[in-house]
Amino acid sequence: MNECPVTVFPPQIRWETEGTSRIPFQAYTDEQIYRKELDRFFYRNHWCYVGLEAEIPNAGDFKRTVVGERSVIMVRDKDGAIHVVENVCAHRGMAFCRERDGNVEGFTCPYHQWNYTLAGDLQGVPFRRGVKQDGKVNGGMPSDFKTADHGLTKLKVARRGGVVFASFDHDVESLEDYLGPTILGYFDRLFNGRALKILGYNRQRIPGNWKLMQENIKDPYHPGLLHTWFVTFGLWRADNKSQLLMDERHRHAAMVSTRGTAGQSDQVTQVSSFKASMQLNDARFLDIAPEPWWGGPTAVMMTVFPSVIFQQQVNSVSTRHIQPDGHGAFDFVWTHFGFADDSEEMTQRRLRQANLFGPAGFVSADDGEVIEFSQQAFESKPFHRTLAELGGHTVEDTEHMVTETLIRGMYRYWRDVMEREA
Ligand code: FES
Ligand SMILES: [Fe+2]
């Protein structure tokens, strides 16, 4: 079933120019704009990340997650197929699944115990044929009631390299077309068919608009300035060899960077977040072991619009799922993983390097805070706008990091979709 009702929304917000280098604060503060984003980006025409196959290795394994704000369940059936069904009972609408993950034979809603297969088909309805009393059958479902008409809402599913995406829109283009050849190349670099191994999760709630996290990872300008850890220990610098690449429609991006071997340049030591006296207590945080599949770059940060970031920062690899909740907050779920054939030493290395990330990460704690403080300012003067003009006003791939082109690109796409008639 295709569940994409067309909704009518209020007029557009006002942009200062035809371009996208000045983004109205209202794009982050207006609840109706946000509702329209959910409709246009999360529920129609787009693929959203739901998880990794390695999270549900066995028949009956499931994981509860979201597409936009809608609760969904990713589940593996007895034939190994993966289904994604909406967590809304076909009877009276209860969100029946409360566990975050588990293993089941089927799904049973606690309210009136309607029962569904792992594929989401309705298979049992208590009292369907009524209840016998004094030789007479009372009640029951009408004779024209068909279980086949009342399954759970099923999403379209795409799997590639062990990653699972889903869409409420059964007419959505293929995942490969959606990503486009450039981003697909980097996707396949990370997810090249090897079995994945789940190492753990971080979860955090960030009180800011969901797009700010996309922007944060499309912004190669800040890591070498905001993040003391990166600047001081040299993992990300503005003079690293790098490329910024987008898909044709500029909604996805890859920031590709190769860690420099040069010493500290003046540009670095002059950055106020550089702390010359700072030392690592445990040098193993920087125990980096190059891996053949990197093929050169030491870090590739991929933003797949609208819902996910795929991270490779030296030996730490993770997915970061953006789960919007109202215009002013989102949950951010990190899944740290490795590969099934990793040695124990490599697993420990990946886990140690994961300390950079997550809510208390050496680097990522800073990002959560700047997003929160940005949102606070937007709410205080929604008539104002941001400025994303580093590198000019236009949108193009670059061979350097001193630009906000990826942010302008994302808003080019945003405007194209949001300003279109229904
Ligand atoms: S609401 Fe689920 S069985 Fe009634
Ligand atoms: Fe950052």
Using DSSP bridges, classify how beta strands 107-108 and 70-76 pair: parallel, antiparallel or unpaired: unpaired
Ligand 1 binding residues, C-beta < 6 A: 89, 91-92, 94, 96, 109, 111-112, 114
Q: Which atom of ligand 1 is nearest to the CA of 90?
A: 2
| 85, 88, 94, best to mutate for ligand 1 pocket (most atoms within 8 Å of CB) | 94
Q: Would you state the pLDDT for residue 155?
A: 98
Mean pLDDT, contiguous 10-residue spans, the chain (422 residues): 56 87 97 97 98 98 98 98 98 98 98 98 94 92 95 98 98 98 98 97 98 97 88 75 95 91 59 79 89 94 98 96 98 98 98 92 93 98 96 96 96 96 80
**Dihedral sign of CA atoms 258, 259, 265, 268 in order:** positive
347 CB contacts (<8 Å, ≥6 apart)? 197, 199, 338
pTM: 0.94
Which tokens sit at 207? 């009180």
Q: Which among 293, 336, 388, 351 has a CA at the least distance from the CA of 54?
A: 336
**What is the per-residue DSSP string for 99-144?**
SSEEE-SSEE-TTT--EE-TTS-EEE-TTTT-EEETTEEE--S-TT
For residue 376, which phi and psi values (nearest 5 degrees)? Answer: -60, -45
Tokens 């120019």 appear where? 17
Residue 263: the pLDDT is 55
pLDDT at residue number 286: 86
CB-based contact 87:97 (threshold 8 Å): yes
Q: Whose CA is nearest to atom 3 of ligand 1?
A: 112
Residue 34: CB atoms within 10 A of its CB come to 20
Please name which ligand lies nearest the alpha carbon of 87.
Answer: 1
Tokens of 354: 């994961």
Ligand 1, atom 1: closest residue by C-alpha = 92
- Stretch (H or E) spanning 97: none
The Cα 155–Cα 70 span in angstroms is 11
At 190 the three-state DSSP class reads: helix
From the CA of 111, which ligand is nearest?
1
Contacts 24+ apart (CB under 8 A), 170-179: 170/1, 170/2, 171/2, 172/44, 172/45, 172/46, 172/47, 173/45, 175/47, 178/46, 178/47, 179/247, 179/252, 179/304
Distance 407 CA to ligand 2 centre (A): 14
Whether omega before 306 lies within 30 degrees of 0, making that bond cis, reads yes
pLDDT at 2: 53
Pairing of strands 253-258, 299-304: antiparallel
Cα distance between the two ends of the chain: 20
